[in-house]
Amino acid sequence: VLKLFKLLHRTRQEVFRNDTKALEAARQKINEEFRNNRDETSEEKINELLKIGSDVEVILRTSVIQAVHTDADKI
């Protein structure tokens, strides 16, 4: 669980680099989800949550695109 938590935060830092708003929003969401489920004891539910977290990490890493303005009318 801790390994996934750290991986999500590292991925967040890479994907949203230089975007303080997105970095903070992602940090809060990751922490909130882990905090909300920290008392879970069912092995089946924990495995399901770990799978969801892994899927989210893959989606962040492969599907999120950050655009940068290079000129007044160019991204």
Model pLDDT for residues 4-52, shown as the tens digit of each residue = 999 999 999 999 998 999 999 999 999 999 999 999 999 999 999 999 9
Distance CA 46, CA 27 (A): 21
| Tally of CB atoms within 10 A around 31 | 13
Distance CA 6, CA 12 (A): 10
Q: Which residues contact 48 (CB under 8 A, 6 or more apart)?
A: none
pTM metric for this prediction: 0.84
